[in-house]
Structure 1
Amino acid sequence: MNEEQQQAFEDLIYSYVGKVVCQRMPAKDAVNEPMIRHWAEAIGDNNPAYSDPQWAADSQRGKMIAPPAMMYSWGQEGFPVVAQGRTPDAQSELVERFNENGFFGTLGTNVKQEYFKEVGIGDTVYMEMVVDNISEQKATGRGIGYFFETLATFSDQHGDPIGTQRFRVLKFIPPAEQAAASSSDNDEALEVPTRIASPRGHDNKWWWDACDEGKVLIQRCKNCQTLRHPPRPMCGECQSMEWDSIESTLAGEVLSFTELHHPKIPGYQYPLVCAVIKLAEGTNLVANVVGCEPEAVHIGMQLQGKVEQIDAKTMLPQFYPA
């Protein structure tokens, strides 16, 4: 977007700062032992203040309490929200404004809670929430975007403060959309992204180096002649650590496969079919099936592979219908 469009967009989103997401509302259930037990079991917290009524009664408090970090969970709406959708509010409207302007990416970045008072069995937790702040435009590792923060305030049935929770979200333009927008705005050639570089360690660098030279090698135990892939230091059959390799003919067949649709990762061409391929030599290899429509790929399909340069930095075996 140009400068004028950005200013109009920012005027719109900043108008949401201070808007109420939800009025002060009580949780559907009072603080109770079963919910505390489920929480404590799930996170492995054995504090007897949460789980042992007799210990709690004999303590200085004289009663069981709920873990402070539970305060947000008491007011959760549960299954109806999953089944029917959440009632629109200021936060959902703000998210929609971001989406409408290309900021489709969503990432929860951090949660900060403060605790002022403990709650015990029978207390009722109330929550209210506002859109607290929205940052200026930021350039992040995920893409260009804005951080917005909601502030939830918790209190008990007497109105005494229990705590607060700040939840921070990044709304960003995913890199692929950002690149397309930049291209249309500037009409300049952009560098084509490459695939994620292969990790090359002590045990597999030799395999990738051979791939760079246009060959797919299969590791072979010198002692029992067993072939193995992926590369590893020891033979699984006889435990020998002596090995050499043979070159694959790259003839194979599909054992299983999947077509990836989402998320679309920069550097990969779509449609993207990934398959487990049984090579003629007997080992299996994960690679892309190309040269045909995804609908044509099937288990048992005969393939022939080629080591090809798929981007400016990457050589990989790709498999075509035989």
Structure 2
Amino acid sequence: MDFQAFQAYEGRAAAVGGAGKDPVNGPMIRHWCEAMGHPVPVDGSAPQAMLQVWTMGGLSGHAAGAGRSSAYEELLGRLDAAGCTSVVATDCEQEYVRPLLPGERITFDAVIESVSGSKTTKLGTGHFVTTRMEVRAEGGELVGTHRFRILKYAPAQGKAPKQTAGPRRPRPVVNRDNAGYWEGIRERRLLIQRCAGCGALRLPWLPGCDACGSADWDTVRAGGDGVVFSYVVMHHPPFPAFDPPYAVALVELAEGVRVLGNVVGVPYDKVRIGMPVRLEFLNTDDELTVPVFRGEG
């Protein structure tokens, strides 16, 4: 792999003059807060963790050419040509300057911050590509940055997992912040983080408490009872490891936190908000176990 050719893209634009499709608005803030279990700020501002939301193009995407730069696509194309045809998102980092207020419109620019040397992982060998986005309010005031990292890699040869029951489900991205969660799932335990400072429970796992900021925590095991807080029936896109239509629910556990999972045991068109469900674990193949929820209504 010609690392110098890849490294030459560092510092080049990944997006120029992008603009949010919608102004910061109350309904989106409320929906996001309800889905994430985050309190709606009393001053009406957007939670700062929503930063990326305002830059996203939704299902229809941004208008052709809007905010895009050819350099990023060129880099990915050259990595493809070098055999790094697979991609996985690895992590993101955000820095906040101030909250955004309803009615504000944002713009954004992004730069290819770094391309790593060749790295070998369990997935295969490739390069980490990091982009850094600056999000600005009207007038050009910086309100936050979003750093996003992917691994473009050539899949490892001769390490294909056993496939005895058809195509595999996609693998979860496991990192230092959530490894304990997935270890618990493999042991058929759903573990919830508990802040050692204020006792607040949180799921998904985070490196620190979003209530008091403490970095100290332990875990409690979920009892397994819950109700469907929200759900969607998946019809599209088709994927070999799934058999649409099927229901995916945001389940509110008895402990007060929420988690995503398939609803099983009832027809997809019988799933309803408020339906009682019970936690189970599904071995999708020899390597992956996931939490699912059996409908009891």
TM-score by length of 1: 0.46
Structure 1 residue 70 corresponds to structure 2 residue 63: no
- Alpha-carbon contact 2:29-2:47 (below 8 Å) kept: yes
Of the candidates 24, 27, 38, which is equivalent to residue 17 of structure 2? 24
SS of alignment partner, residue 79 of structure 1:
coil
Aligned to 1:96: 77
How many positions carry a matched residue from both structures? 166
Higher helix share: 1
Q: How far has the Cα of 1:28 moved from its partner? A: 2.4
Of the candidates 91, 108, 114, which is equivalent to residue 133 of structure 1? 114
Aligned mates of 1:22, 1:85 — CA distance in 2: 10
The 5-angstrom pairing of residues 141-152 of structure 1 reads 141-152=122-133
The 5-angstrom pairing of residues 37-48 of structure 1 reads 37-45=30-38, 47-48=39-40
- Alpha-carbon contact 1:155-1:162 (below 8 Å) kept: yes
Query: Quick one: structure 1 residues 101 and 44, their matched pair in 2 at CA, closer, same or farther if it must change by over 3 Å?
Result: same
Which stretches in structure 1 are left out of the alignment for 5+ residues? 1-5, 50-55, 57-62, 180-191, 197-259, 263-322
Amino acid paired to 2:88:
L
SS of alignment partner, residue 6 of structure 2:
helix
Structure 1 runs of 4+ aligned residues shifted over 4 Å read: 82-88, 192-196
Q: How far has the Cα of 1:88 moved from its partner? A: 6.4
Q: How far has the Cα of 1:111 moved from its partner? A: 0.6
Aligned to 1:14: 7
Query: Quick one: structure 1 residues 82 and 123, their matched pair in 2 at CA, closer, same or farther if it must change by over 3 Å?
Result: closer
Deviations 1:39-64 (Å, cap 9, x if unpaired)? 1122121x241xxxxxx3xxxxxx31
TM-score by length of 2: 0.50
| Structure whose CA Rg is larger | 1
Amino acid paired to 1:139:
T
The 5-angstrom pairing of residues 180-259 of structure 1 reads 195=162
Aligned mates of 2:240, 2:103 — CA distance in 1: 49
- Alpha-carbon contact 2:21-2:62 (below 8 Å) kept: no
Deviations 1:54-92 (Å, cap 9, x if unpaired)? xx3xxxxxx310011111111212233399899663222
Of the candidates 6, 24, 27, which is equivalent to residue 34 of structure 1? 27
Query: Quick one: structure 1 residues 13 and 42, their matched pair in 2 at CA, closer, same or farther if it must change by over 3 Å?
Result: same
Aligned mates of 1:34, 1:24 — CA distance in 2: 26
Q: How far has the Cα of 1:95 moved from its partner? A: 1.3
Which stretches in structure 2 are left out of the alignment for 5+ residues? 164-238, 242-297
Deviations 1:283-309 (Å, cap 9, x if unpaired)? xxxxxxxxxxxxxxxxxxxxxxxxxxx
Q: How far has the Cα of 1:23 moved from its partner? A: 1.4
